[in-house]
Structure 1
Amino acid sequence: MQLEQEGLGPVINRIKRAQGQLGGVLRLLEEGRDCEDVVTQLAAVSKALDRAGFAIVARGLQQCLTAEEPQEMDVKKMEKLFLSLA
């Protein structure tokens, strides 16, 4: 299923923010910063990407359920997508 671009702005922004945070993690590592600082920033990146992933899956599910021409949903495939983010 192809995602419609409409409504993906917040997801794209979240991923861009995570990209910036990941750059920050690299800088912290290169500067030899404290382990706690590095792990805290890495956790923030991970959470941002997880939330973006869930938003994408939820958007796809919403599209399937509201489509004018309903598509048969592959429940196992959707379950696998959700679990891949867990």
Structure 2
Amino acid sequence: MCEHTLPENSGKKPAKPRTDEEKQAVMNRLKRIEGQVRGIQKMVENDRYCVDVLVQISAINKALNKVGYSLLERHTHHCVAGAIKKGEGEEAIDELMKVIQQFSK
């Protein structure tokens, strides 16, 4: 698979579905990030100083990582832990390690 393409949907469901509050928190963070991206687009259109644009890009990267780590944490506590309890831990751990490796590139 090409490094730059999105992986196909695994078709799996979470061991414990996200609560409405969890979904809303993630959605709010992503919408904030989306707004930051639009802000950077305007900065580029307005010929803003490169360093100012780069600082904003760095902030977006940090925000995305924060969302990703919170999802990784939840996945580990619910999906991976549940799989281990059911005796399916090896597969879940292998999947987790692959996504951590991909996430940390």
TM norm. shorter chain > 0.5: yes
C-alpha spacing 1:50/1:33, structure 2 compared with 1 (3 Å): same
Aligned to 2:88: 72
RMSD (Å), alpha carbons: 2.0
Residue 9 (structure 1) shift: 2.7
2:55, 2:27 → 1: CA distance? Answer: 22
Aligned to 2:68: 53
Aligned to 1:2: 13
C-alpha spacing 1:18/1:71, structure 2 compared with 1 (3 Å): farther
Aligned to 1:38: 53
TM (normalized to structure 1)? Answer: 0.82
Identity of aligned residues (%): 28
Write out per-residue CA displacement over residues 1-21 of structure 1, whole angstroms, 9 at most, x where no aligned residue: 424221233222211111110
C-alpha spacing 1:8/1:70, structure 2 compared with 1 (3 Å): farther
2:103, 2:87 → 1: CA distance? Answer: 24
> Structure 1: any 5+ residue segments left out of the alignment?
none
1:27, 1:51 → 2: CA distance? Answer: 24
Aligned to 2:38: 23
> Structure 2: any 5+ residue segments left out of the alignment?
1-11
Instruction: Give the 3-state SS of the residue equivalent to 2:35 in structure 1.
Output: helix
> How many residue pairs get matched?
85
